[in-house]
Structure 1
Amino acid sequence: MDRFDLSVASERWLWKKDTLKEPTVLQSFALDEVHKHLYVLQIVWGGSEAGDLCLNRLDLQGKRLGHMYLRGFGHGVGIGVQHAPDGTLWIWTECAASEGGYGRGVTRFRFFPGATREVADVNVRFPIPGSTGNQPSICQATGRIAVRHRVDDVPRYRIYDLAAFVAGDYTSHLADFPQTGTHPDPTVPFQGFALHGDHLYQLAGTPYDPQSNPPAGRGDTHVSCLHIRTGEPVQRERTEAGHSLSFREPEGLAVRRTPKPWLCMGFASGAVGAREFSVYYKPHRP
């Protein structure tokens, strides 16, 4: 499948929604296009160091349909949706948070509205021994999973066949390469990623700040693309999507496949304790 051209102008999907359960920013999101649901992860208010997350299920207009709490899971940097052959819907997230609040492994579980899951309730997978900061992304088009992780505090990606990964085969990965090319300024924080076909998309940027990132400059957010076969950068573009938002922190990337492919970018806005979220997208242009 063709990659997204990151120079294509962004369009608005969801705008300044205040429907998430927690008053914190979104961290990542993924789509269940079979049932027309959007899943959004947040850190629980005051739960960052413990790795406590809130998982929201929304409809495609942004209305909240339910939520779950995930205690000790991580920071919520990545999320994936898997449709199993038997019809079961699985949600993939990081899990088993370290003292810094980031997952040491990944897991999958079913969504149950109002439920709370502890680490002991799920099967935690540790595909890269000794790694930290594990986060998943699922490509539903190819049946692959990307696991972002850190080895010696250096971020990398490892790509697996999802069926093999579910079966516990972590040795025959399809690709392994370092995170690179996220932003012209390497100190700017990483904010999300999405695997789609043979390409992996990355998001980086900071919220507005009167001195370092003033709103008049329309932000420092960049979206980039790596080829998973080579690990080499393919394209990187600055985006002004949602530039009129207050605060405007980029948070999360996801791919919507139908009716036409979209590369979706999340943005947090609003005041502390009353955050909102917006989603913009880059349409696929053949």
Structure 2
Amino acid sequence: MTERFDLAAPAVRRLWKKTLHEGTVLQSFAFDEAHKHLYALQLAAGGAESGDLCLNRLDYDGTLLGHMYLKGFGHGVSMGVQNAADGNVWIWTEAAARNGYGQGVTRFRFFDGATRTGDDVAIREPIARSTNNQPSVCMTSKRVAIRYRLDNKPRYRVWDLDAFVARDYADPIADLAQTGLHPDSSVPFQGYALYGDHLYQLAGTAYDTATNPPEKHGNAYLSCLDIRTGKLVQRQRTEAGHSLDHREPEGVAVRHAGTPQLYLGLASGSAGARLFSLYYKPLSA
């Protein structure tokens, strides 16, 4: 599977200034194509240090359908949705927070109003000595990726999803360094998504009058890595949603049904009352 998104294609607005259960920014999101649900992670109010997250379920129009809390899971850097053959929907997130970031990963089912802790999920630590583990799931290729740090250097490892679920971590499909994120290496990582043979990354910061003024339309970049070679194949600045206030890039995800679409998230609004917007780039013919 080699098809990839052209990051230079114009971005299309899909959702505009929608709300989540908490007033914090969107951190990451993923799609359940079977049931037309959008799942979105955000930090619970005051939960950054402890790694407390709020998981939201919305419809594809951005209407909030429910939420649950994940106590001590992490920062919500990335997530995945697995549509299992038996009809179950599994949510993949980081878990076992330390210093606010998950040191392993887990999967669980969504139950509106529920609260989960590390004691009632099975935590996986597939990469020895690694820290800051963050998952992404591609249901088209049936693969799972984990972004992790080894000796404090960010990397990605990719497995067959069925093997990973069976806890067979011995034969990964790929292992590669995170590279090519942004022309300015000091600009922070803001999410990634796996699609087939490619990883899509997002980097950027919120508007700042001194270093990232709104009139310059932001410093957000999307980039693409080929997992077979580990090389950067494309990097593109995006001005999507440049009219938003705050405009902080947050999260990348892929819709797989029909013509695949690569989505990026943007947070806006005032502190304590953040909103989110989604833009996408369609897969080129």
Smaller-chain TM-score bracket? over 0.9
CA distance in 2, matches of 1:280, 1:133: 27
Q: Which runs of 4+ in 1 moved over 2 A?
A: none
Q: Post-superposition shift, 1:283?
A: 1.2
Cα distance, 1:258 vs. partner? 2.4
Distance 1:244 1:54 in 2: 27
Q: What residue is the counterpart of 1:10 in the other structure?
A: 11
Cα distance in structure 2, aligned partners of 1:212 and 1:130: 36
Match of 1:97 in 2: 97
Q: How does 1:42-191 map to 2 (within 5 A)?
A: 42-98=42-98, 100-191=99-190
| Structure 1 unmatched runs, 5+ | none
Match status 1:215 vs 2:214: yes
Q: Where does 1:220-235 land on structure 2 (aligned, <5 Å)?
A: 220-235=219-234
| Aligned partner of residue 145 in structure 2, secondary structure | strand
CA deviation vs aligned residue, 1:33-90 (integer Å, no higher than 9, x gap):
1100000000001000000000000000000101010000000001000011111110
Identity %: 64
Q: How many residues are aligned here?
A: 284
Which residue number corresponds to residue 205 of structure 2?
Answer: 206
Where 1:120 maps in the other structure, the secondary structure is helix
Q: CA deviation at 1:259?
A: 2.8
TM (norm. structure 2) is: 0.99
Q: Which string of whole-angstrom CA distances, capped at 9 and with x for unpartnered residues, describes residues 188-208 of structure 1?
A: 000000000100000000000
Q: Counterparts of 1:76 and 1:131 in 2: how far apart (Å)?
A: 17
Matched residue of 1:163: which SS?
helix
Q: d(CA) in 2 for partners of 1:177 and 1:285?
A: 25
**CA–CA distance in 2 between the matches of 1:132 and 1:42?**
20
Structure 2 gap segments, 5+ residues each: none
Q: Secondary structure at the match of 2:162?
A: helix
Shift of 1:171: 1.3
CA distance in 1: counterparts of 2:132 and 2:189, whole angstroms: 12
| Alpha-carbon distance in 1 for matches of 2:128, 2:97 | 15
Once the 2 structures are TM-superposed, how far is the Cα of residue 261 of structure 1 from its aligned partner? 1.1
**SS of the counterpart of 2:224?**
strand
SS in 1 for 2:163: helix
**Could you tell me the TM-score, scaled by structure 1's length?**
0.98
Report the residue type matching 1:15 in the other structure.
Answer: W
For 1:121 and 1:101, how far apart are their aligned partners in 2? 19
Which residue does the alignment assign to 1:257?
256
The CA distance in 1 between the partners of 2:182 and 2:265, in whole Å, is: 17
